Structure 1
């Protein structure tokens, strides 16, 4: 998620659960510090699909 504050840093997280129908938001996201939150991505958010192999390696 891109920061909306000048000089702020982007935030990267992993979608760990999709709660909407057919893959739609809200998403449960886990951040590198272990924090989890429920989010509805806005225009400042970029979602990239990773491989199943990469996801398995992070567990």
Structure 2
């Protein structure tokens, strides 16, 4: 898995009722784009270091569900 600053991470819940989390990758902790990433989450407006698991995908554009939220988180 490789990412760039500005890409988006989408984490799918492991159960049917679990929400999908979406966040913008704000910082790479490795120059080659490998995990972990510093992610700004849209659902709680927090930043955290993320080691993506098999339930995560990286997309270059803002995910569909996140398009109504401000890109800068505020």
> TM bucket by the smaller chain?
0.7 to 0.9
Q: Does 1:6 align with 2:19?
A: no
Unaligned 5+ runs, structure 2:
1-10, 62-70
TM-score by length of 2: 0.63
Structure with more relative contact order (C-alpha pairs < 8 Å, separation 6 or more) = 2
User: What value does the CA root-mean-square deviation take over the aligned residues?
Assistant: 1.9
How far apart are 1:48 and its partner, in Å? 0.4
Out of 37, 49, 59, the position equivalent to 2:48 is 37
SS at structure 1 position matched to 2:48: strand
- Please identify runs of 4+ aligned residues in structure 1 that moved more than 3 A: none
Identify, as 1 or 2, the structure richer in helix.
Answer: 1
